[in-house]
Amino acid sequence: MNKSLKIFAPATVANLSCGFDVLGCCLDTVGDEMVVSLTSEPGVTITKIEGADLPMETHKNVAGVAVEALLKSYNEAIGVNIEIYKNIKAGSGIGSSAASSAGAVWAVNHLLNNPFTKHQLVAFAMEGEKLASGNAHADNVAPALLGGFTLVRSYNPLDVIKLNTPKDLMMTVIHPQIEVKTSDSRSVIKHNVSLKKAIQQWGNVGGLVAGLFTEDYQLIGRSLEDVIIEPLRSILIPEFEAVKEAAISKGALGCGISGSGPSIFALSKGEETANIVANTIREVYNKTGLEFDIHVSKINNEGIKILSH
């Protein structure tokens, strides 16, 4: 059994417009690194966090609580040490907390010779999400753990389905350097939805899932529409409408808020279009005077990856 593992814990884009709390996908070039080790002293410790100001106390850290949830279901006293090297900024909307909690449970499971399935790991990692935002949503941790696109068909009981990844799909993400806390952007959402909007939304969820499986890029594009959450949250994101209009005018299939924002994602067919979309979004944001990062990534169908033993 290997005692220590260095992994890549990917960023993820949740919701994908129409699928609030149920749809998400995994990125390839953006993510954190973590070193996870089994130790002789039972219990979970976090001894290093670089790149972010996050709590080192196990019960206050998303990776710590996720691993504690896993160990509770594992009937042996195990010691785990975690080092976290953050590249994904907290409050960016590309699954920063999910990368840490999913990465930590995945690595511990691997070091223990995989006693749990990836689907079981989703439930442990959700404990980290609960700590981060007050809500145990799975639409970031599921794609981080399973790779590709995932659908949470049900939360109770938890039923997560891995979808198909059309090979030419590319993601462009802009991250304006302002922090929007998931808990804040969840507080602007209304809890009642009109039947008319619900019909539109679940039509789009079905359309997106069908489009992913049939690799029908135009259907994917038509389905990337959010009539429920986006109108309420987009006001928190500077130039959201201008970015969306510019991205679609340059050939993006669709564009929306990444997770709870402030990042904005655009899906395109092919790398060339994804880069053109990145350039046009950059032009829009250059005028704002705000700092921002732009990422272009293919969809990571594998999820978390081992960097070294």
Q: What residues make contact with ligand HSE under the rule CB under 6 A?
A: 14-15, 20-21, 137, 139-140, 182, 186, 259-260
- Is 129 annotated as catalytic? yes
Residue nearest to ligand HSE (CB): 259
Tokens at 97, concatenated: 């907390």
Cis previous bond, 115, omega within 30: no
- Is 182 annotated as catalytic? yes
User: How many other C-beta atoms lie within 10 A of the C-beta of residue 58?
Assistant: 17
Q: What amino acid is encoded at 267 in this protein?
A: L
Query: In the beta sheet, which residues pair with residue 267?
Result: 171, 254
Shortest distance, position 182 Cβ to ligand HSE, whole Å: 5
Q: Which residue has the tokens 């410790």?
A: 45
Q: Which residue has the tokens 């040490």?
A: 81
Shortest distance, position 90 Cβ to ligand HSE, whole Å: 11
**Residue closer to ligand HSE, measured from CB, 15 or 273:** 15
4: three-class secondary structure by DSSP: strand
**Residue closer to ligand HSE, measured from CB, 30 or 44:** 30
**Residue closer to ligand HSE, measured from CB, 78 or 102:** 102
The whole-angstrom separation of Cα 165 and Cα 149 is 6
Q: What amino acid is encoded at 103 in this protein?
A: G
Active-site annotation holder among 33, 68, 129, 239: 129
**Which residues does 110 contact at the CB level (< 8 Å), separation at least 6?**
5, 306
132: three-class secondary structure by DSSP: helix
Report phi then psi at 184, rounded to 5.
-70, -45
Active-site annotation holder among 12, 165, 182, 280: 182
The answer to whether 40 and 4 have CB atoms below 8 angstroms apart is: no
**Residue closer to ligand HSE, measured from CB, 14 or 102:** 14
Q: Give one DSSP letter per residue of 142-208, joined into a string.
A: HHHHH-SEEEEEEETTEEEEE----TTEEEEEEEES----HHHHHHTS-S---HHHHHHHHHHHHHH
The answer to whether 108 and 46 have CB atoms below 8 angstroms apart is: no
Cα end-to-end distance, the chain, whole Å: 11
Catalytic sites, residue numbers: 129, 182
